[in-house]
Structure 1
Amino acid sequence: MEFYLCIAFLNWPKKVGLSRSTLLYYEKQGVLHGTRQTNGYRLYLDKDVQRLYLLQQLQAGGLTLKECKACLGSKVERAVLKKRLQQLDEDIAQKQQARDLLAALLGEGLLRPWHQQTDKLAPDAHLDWLKQQGFNEKQALHLNWLSKDMNEHDQYVADFMTVYQPLERWGPGTEEDSLKALQLLPTTPTKAVDIGCGKGFSTTLLAQHTQARVIAVDNELNALSQLAQRLTEQGLAERVTTQCASMAELPFAPKSFDLIWAEGSAYIMGVKNALTQWRPLLQNRGCLVLSDLVWLTNTSSQAALDFWRQEYPDIQTVATRISQMEKAGYVVLSHFTLSEQAWLDYYLPLKARVAALQNSLPNSAALQDLAREVALYEQYLGEFGYEMFVLQVMEDQALDELSRIDQELG
């Protein structure tokens, strides 16, 4: 004899953890088959109750009601289960990423990948967000191009400066390369600014080989102090003024200079941003000299590609940089690749300094990154290098014509 279970409808939904409307919907979809009695009760077979529990178990596996009904009524389709399993794996991966990000923001994980991806997709918003987290302009820029992790930033920068402070050069360059660029200028400068001057090799060269009044700008006070001392010793202090300021917020009026010099520094705020923001500071037919890391080949090794995609995602070919410069309103007067000596003068002292600090900074992320960088120079230099660009502000009429052509081309 078949056994029937008679359950008060108002109590049974609580027992199975479902709402009254859900049970009615299940009946409508043919999953359950209750019978309404005259006293307001619904009559269910015991197998209906068990069927409902089985349905809930299948739903817990991520199956839709339609798929659950199909599974209850026939043999399980493996293709359906595989599809749901794949979706579940994707959901878990997304939730794991979300958890990793939250943990990293709380200081319980690495934030570098997130910072790099965010800065690549939304650089301005990322910079503003860093400022909202309590970083000043200098710290935010340092974080973007240096530590790339706000949780480890202070220690990273401290170790980085420990490495670089005693070094003469903080980037590739030679006096010969700088003089070559200076000689390519169409006119003799009278008012110049050296942006991101560091310890002031370029500043000193400008003061020695021109009669221009020079302002040396950097946000590292220690570097500016060393520069001021060197200028005093060489009798050049009267024509050079040091200014501690952010290159992204320069305190100068429009058309203040006929020459802007920026060796190896524009990348800090982004070359395209620098081209746009610095242009108003130049007088008519004023010049901008800058150097930037570029690809020198279209067939770079995977190791070099991987390294620079992480350390300098905006690295471009020479042709791409020239196109950006022209669109920003400059005429490219000349350009050339820095000499091999420029790199030797930079990375050989850096290599020795990194080796000397291995014992005192054994777990330093900054030291490890610099060691990788030196190794890359030694193995792949020639696939990439620094290019010096000598630019002149485009006449307003020519710039308007260029803008018109760009608009017509879409």
Structure 2
Amino acid sequence: MASRFMVLGVDYQPGGQGAYNPVNTADPLSNGTICLRDAALMQNLGVNTIRSYNVDPALNHDECASIFNMAGIYIILDVNSPLGGQSIDRTNPASTYNTGYLSHIFGVVEAFKSYPNTLGFFAGNEVINDVATAAQNPQYIRAVQRDLKNYIAAHASRPIPVGYSAADVREVLQDTWAYLQCDNSANGTDPSRSDFFGLNSYSWCGTGSSFQTSGYDQLVAIFSNTTIPVFFSEYGCNDPQPRVFDEVTTLYGPEMTVMSGGLVYEWTQETANYGIITTFPNGSAQLRGDYDELEGKYSQLNLTLIESRNNTATTLQPPKCNSSLISANGFSTNFNIPSPPDGAQALIAAGISSAPTGSIVSVTQTAVQVQVLASNGATIGGLSITSATGANAPGGGSLQTGAEAQRRPRAVLLQFRPPLFMAFWQPAALARWLF
């Protein structure tokens, strides 16, 4: 019987949103030297998943994807970007839902569809952030999910899950999840339905917070009957600093088995002050106290509990889409999804012309080539990645200063990967991925 897979991850966008733009011709997954540095530090930490927000489908990502794959780390990708025409405008979704937009997001699929550690795609991020934006945007989120899944079905060698990342705005949160997880088909195969649901939540802050005061108990109540995996696509309040990450043991504990882990925001220190490492222009880096705190919390996790299955979830069937699922006045109750724009069906059938499609390459350089300092300023020696025996997990390594680090291999089976992806497409086997 397959083990449960939970996300233990970080949001990964070195350089911030400006890391991807037409001027610098780079994105977070295009520099092998930097990816190797970060994969080695993540492997030590116990990270098994990263999320990258803005990627350029025209760039070559083979080296970075292969490095993370070797380290046992999955990748979830946002298909949108902040550049013009590459995302849905939450104030006027119809104006941006066109074949030019679809060409971009299908290009992201083409660039990453062949990597075995591509875990999924986010079709949108916080497109709904209040009742006003919930009037029309839900239909367009489902339309984009439908188009992405139809493109994947036509051009990828395996199903790749597609979902949504929501803002933690409680007045629309439950309705957003209810709208996106319901089934609007006659036979239970609605491609517009979310395969997973991410939540960007920063409600647990400091040592005085708890399961109740953070509102985590409310999240458990909201998602108690979920038929799709739900996890934090961002979490980690940055007050105080360094962060204490007390929520980690609760998130991965017995009170929150309805949730499927989460991604700490974020890996590198940017202007918003959420980073767990600090990077420098020459490629070197230094751990922050946040990294040390997170590693300490990860080391306390009960991996047996994390890998056990939520058997209740496998018996649930998605509700049929109906206005009765929606509670907030002004939130859309229209489940008639917009038809694809002119030319979209031909684009899905033919595929993106001359699209660069990635593939796993041999990783011959495993030792980190740039200097990395511990949080106390001491040089970390012997930093490298090792070939993982499966998805990465906490407790497998220890960084040492002034000496070669010693690591023990992870134990989660790599051959677990195929049913991991199929789980979203086989409801009875949903527990094999995140439940």
Could you state the TM-score of these two structures normalised by the residue count of structure 2?
0.22
| Greater strand share, structure number | 1
Query: Relative contact order: is structure 1 or structure 2 higher (C-alpha 8 Å, sep ≥ 6)?
Result: 2
| Greater helix share, structure number | 1
Larger Rg, first or second structure (1 or 2): 1
Could you state the TM-score of these two structures normalised by the residue count of structure 1?
0.23
